[in-house]
């Protein structure tokens, strides 16, 4: 099957130019001017921008967490992603207690089987330390898993100590595996949480007290120092504040191979949103927590000036009022105390339009940088490039058609995520994905769903680059 996209403006991380694109099967076969091809389906993209499909390097679909399971599974989450212009994501598979890393990956592959509608890979999250786990790291690349995650937070659940962190980094360096890290000092959160609860301070706002910025910065700096010693590549996930990003800057200035991600919600949700009277603030409980508008401006600047390389979502959806109408329990679990709120914010569908509108229209970075932080950089660092993350001959034909003039008001009433609220409710954005193509197939066209369940593919990833 051949498709010829005529008259569009191609935007990559480095170039903006008008050209036609010929797709043969699942791949981009030719890019040029005035292309003609007998028998090809013609799509006219006059007036539209053509960008590589978005790549969300940080999601949690169908994940047990916080006494429940995330509301979006691999079908609803991926379908929502496609509506928002994302064609690939990398989800976190969890090692099970007593299980191996690769068993964790197999478990997550089963969750996606028969449901996937876009392409996906997995990072494996280390939850059960030990020599066998460390030895297993060298086997990951052969299975297409070239990144793992360690937690310095969630004591008693996911957190590992510095012994394990250091050993994992040494093994990862040897195996060419990227170490991703959730940096917050979990010992401190554990102590402060217990003290707050004992004092009866269990309102939503105390979540902020248990997760101060200092412990994010401290853990980030510690992880970066250990990465410097071991020489491993380190990717700090969901960076929220200036204090932590300064550690990143210092690490990079020292020549350590460290990179940083922030997430859409940290640009728009703030401590004051969690301090509102009543329980509404629980919607924004995530770890690390939302910070301040001043931090957000620092994050925008850091994305623009290449201090940070990625914007992902940490999509982790829980209904605000779950546990009814056949839905899983959600945020209401935290009415028993802030420490029981399932942590996470949905956003897999919103990332591209929200970061385009506020970033490009907002004058914070240009459209090429937008492509870099939402698609090309994740593809390069996670070992998907040049198959994914760009528009080039030989790449997968994952293309999102962007109508720069189309306006849309974001709302839970119209979004496709399986969750009853939206972090960007009421936000008017200009610039909207009007067609999403995955490996040559139009899977969303003008808001209409065209994809078959199960057609998304697991992608084996190679070792990625350092940016």
Residues that bind ligand DUC (CB under 6 A): 60, 65, 182, 286-287, 314, 316, 343-344
Q: Which is nearer to Zn ion, 345 or 459 (CB)?
A: 345
- Distance in Å from the first CA to the final CA of the chain: 36
Are 65 and 344 in contact, with CB atoms under 8 Å apart?
A: yes
For ligand DUC, give the closer residue by CB, 144 or 329: 329
Distance between alpha carbon 217 and the CA centroid of its chain, in Å? 21
435 binds Zn ion (CB under 5 A): no
The answer to whether residues 239 and 261 touch, using CB atoms and an 8 Å cutoff, is yes
CA distances from 329 to 69, 201, 448 (A): 8, 23, 30
Q: Which is nearer to Zn ion, 115 or 182 (CB)?
A: 182
Residue 259's binding partner out of Zn ion, ligand DUC, none, with CB under 5 to 8 Å set by partner kind: none
Beta carbon of residue 259, minimum distance to ligand DUC (angstroms, whole number): 18
> Up-side HSE of residue 281: CA atoms within 13 Å toward CB?
20
Tokens of 41: 């389906």
Minimum distance, C-beta of residue 400 to Zn ion, in the bound complex (Å): 24
The CA distance from 56 to 120, in Å, is: 9
**Between 287 and 383, CB nearer to ligand DUC:** 287
- 377 makes contact, choosing from ligand DUC, Zn ion, none, with CB < 5 to 8 Å by partner type, with none
By CB under 5 A, tell whether 182 contacts Zn ion. Answer: yes
Q: Which is nearer to Zn ion, 173 or 182 (CB)?
A: 182
Cis bond leading into 386, ω under 30°?
yes
331 binds Zn ion (CB under 5 A): no
282 binds, among ligand DUC, Zn ion, none (CB under 5 to 8 A by kind): none
Residue 357 in 3-state DSSP? helix
CB of 218 to Zn ion, least distance (A): 16
Per CB under 5 A, 314 contacts Zn ion: yes
Question: DSSP label at 53?
Answer: P
72 is an interface residue for Zn ion by CB under 5 A: no
β-strands 41-44, 64-65: how paired? unpaired
- The CA distance from 291 to 182, in Å, is 16
Q: How far is the CB of 266 from ligand DUC (least distance, A)?
A: 11
185 binds, among ligand DUC, Zn ion, none (CB under 5 to 8 A by kind): none
CA 174 to chain centre: 26
Provide, rounded to whole angstroms, the least separation between the CB of residue 348 and Zn ion: 12
Which is nearer to Zn ion, 52 or 66 (by Cβ)?
66
Q: What sign results for the dihedral spanned by CA atoms 5, 90, 148, 223?
A: positive
CB of 418 to Zn ion, least distance (A): 18
**Coil, helix or strand at residue 467:** coil
For the four alpha carbons of 179, 359, 300 and 363, in that order, the dihedral sign comes to positive
By C-beta, is 60 or 123 nearer to ligand DUC?
Answer: 60
Smallest gap from Cβ 434 to ligand DUC, in A, equals: 31
Q: Which is nearer to Zn ion, 314 or 319 (CB)?
A: 314
Per-residue b/e over 67-78, b at no fewer than 16 CB within 10 Å? ebbbbbbbbbbb
Q: Specify the stretch interacting with Zn ion by CB under 5 A; choose among 192-200, 220-228, 269-277, 308-316.
A: 308-316
Residue count of the chain, please give it. Answer: 467
Question: Between 336 and 355, how does the x/- string for binding to Zn ion read (CB under 5 A)?
Answer: --------------------
In the complex, minimum distance from the CB of residue 205 to Zn ion, in angstroms, rounded to a whole number: 21
* Shortest distance, position 123 Cβ to ligand DUC, whole Å: 12
* Residue among 54 and 346 whose Cβ is closer to ligand DUC: 346
Residue 343 binds which of Zn ion, ligand DUC, none (CB < 5-8 A, kind-dependent): ligand DUC
List, in order, residues 6 or more apart from 454 with CB less than 8 Å away.
113, 114, 115, 116, 117
The SS3 assignment for 63 reads coil
- Give the footprint of Zn ion on this chain (CB under 5 A): 182, 314
């Amino acid at each position: 099957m051949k498709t010829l996209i005529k008259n569009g403006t191609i935007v990559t991380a480095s170039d903006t130019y008008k050209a036609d694109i010929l797709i043969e099967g699942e791949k981009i076969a030719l890019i040029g001017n005035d292309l003609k091809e007998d028998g090809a389906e013609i799509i006219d993209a006059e007036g539209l921008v053509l960008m590589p499909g978005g790549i969300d390097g940080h999601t949690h679909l169908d994940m047990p967490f916080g006494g429940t399971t995330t509301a979006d599974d691999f079908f609803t989450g991926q379908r929502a992603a496609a509506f928002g212009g994302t064609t690939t994501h990398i989800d976190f598979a969890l090692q099970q207690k007593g299980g191996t890393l690769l068993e964790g990956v197999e478990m997550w592959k089963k969750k996606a089987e028969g449901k996937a509608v876009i392409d996906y890979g997995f990072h494996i999250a280390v939850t059960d330390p030990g020599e066998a786990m460390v030895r297993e790291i060298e086997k990951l690349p052969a299975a297409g898993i070239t990144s793992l995650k360690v937690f310095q937070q969630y004591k008693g659940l996911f957190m590992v100590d510095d012994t394990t962190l250091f050993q994992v980094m040494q093994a990862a360096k040897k195996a060419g595996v990227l170490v991703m890290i959730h940096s917050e000092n979990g010992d401190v959160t554990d102590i402060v949480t217990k003290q707050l609860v004992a004092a009866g301070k269990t309102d939503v706002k105390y979540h902020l007290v248990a997760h101060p910025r200092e412990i994010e910065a401290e853990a980030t700096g510690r992880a970066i120092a250990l990465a410097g010693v071991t020489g491993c590549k380190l990717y700090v996930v969901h960076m929220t504040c200036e204090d932590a990003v300064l550690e990143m800057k210092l690490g990079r200035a020292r020549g350590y191979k460290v990179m940083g991600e922030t997430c859409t919600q940290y640009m728009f949700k703030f401590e004051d949103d969690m301090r509102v009277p009543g329980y509404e603030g629980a919607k924004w409980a995530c770890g690390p927590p939302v910070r301040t508008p001043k931090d957000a401006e620092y994050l925008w600047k850091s994305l623009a000036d290449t201090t940070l390389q990625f914007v992902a979502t940490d999509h982790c959806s829980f209904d605000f009022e779950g546990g009814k109408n056949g839905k899983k329990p959600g945020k209401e679990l935290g009415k028993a105390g802030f420490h029981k709120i399932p942590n996470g914010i949905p956003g897999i569908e919103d990332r591209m339009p929200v970061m385009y509108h506020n970033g490009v229209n907002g004058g914070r970075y240009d459209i090429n940088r937008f492509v870099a932080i939402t698609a090309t950089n994740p593809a390069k660092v996670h070992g998907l490039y040049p198959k994914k993350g760009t528009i080039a001959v030989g790449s997968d034909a994952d293309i999102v058609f962007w109508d720069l003039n189309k306006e849309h008001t974001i709302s839970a009433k119209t979004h496709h995520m399986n969750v009853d609220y939206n972090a960007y409710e009421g936000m008017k954005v200009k610039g909207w994905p009007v067609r999403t193509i995955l490996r040559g197939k139009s899977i969303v066209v003008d808001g209409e769903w065209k994809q078959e369940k199960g057609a998304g593919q697991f992608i084996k990833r190679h070792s990625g680059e350092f940016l």
